[in-house]
Amino acid sequence: MMMMITRNKTLLIGLCALGGLVALPFTDARAQASEMTEYPVAKLRYLDKVTARNTTFEAIVGETMNFGPLYVKVQSCKKSSPIDQPESAAFLQIWEAEDGKDSEWVFSGWMFASSPGLSPMDHPVYDVWVLDCLEDEAMKAAREEAEKEAMEGEAEDAVEGE
């Protein structure tokens, strides 16, 4: 009996050590991953499977849009930095409200542009999926102004260095 307990302890310690070694690369990769940036606009696509009509539209984060019986609200839209692997993700809440019936949740969760099948909306007639996260006009203007100032600063540095 004592030998069996000792053998089980040895096996348990070995498995724990192996588990720690296996988990180490995954922990390191997550630590190196950069934060995603929040964007104010989500670019989505809507498909009516019956009529085969699809529409690409932009939805402002926090606002609700209506497409037939579907209501779509984007709660968040995040995008990776340009130097990381490209990824856009949006937290969507989608519900259906038909005349005379109570509204019913169709989807609530994160959708990923690079992997639409990872977290799809399951509806027999409609599909909605994320394409990208975009800047609004004020954000775009501020970024362009900062880039312009940076370029002017580099030009002035080059002139002073001569």
Same domain as 115, residue 86 = yes
- If one counts the domains in the chain, the total is 2
Residue 42 lies inside a defined structural domain of this protein = yes
pLDDT (tens digit per residue) in 36-49: 999 999 999 999 99
User: Which pLDDT score, from 0 to 100, does residue 149 have?
Assistant: 79
Residue 60 lies inside a defined structural domain of this protein = yes
Residue 148 lies inside a defined structural domain of this protein = no
Cβ contacts of residue 136 below 8 Å, gap of 6+? 40, 41, 60
Residue 107 lies inside a defined structural domain of this protein = yes
Same domain as 124, residue 47 = yes
pLDDT (tens digit per residue) in 6-31: 444 444 444 444 444 444 444 444 44
Same domain as 97, residue 73 = yes
Distance CA 50, CA 73 (A): 23
Same domain as 75, residue 48 = yes
Print the domain residue range for 96. 37-141
pLDDT at 79 over 60: yes
Residue 46, CB half-sphere, CA atoms under 13 Å: how many? 18
Residue 43 lies inside a defined structural domain of this protein = yes
Residue 150 lies inside a defined structural domain of this protein = no
Higher pLDDT, 53 or 160: 53
Same domain as 77, residue 25 = no
Q: For 136-140, what is the mean pLDDT? A: 74
Distance CA 114, CA 80 (A): 12
Same domain as 132, residue 60 = yes
Same domain as 122, residue 100 = yes
Same domain as 123, residue 101 = yes
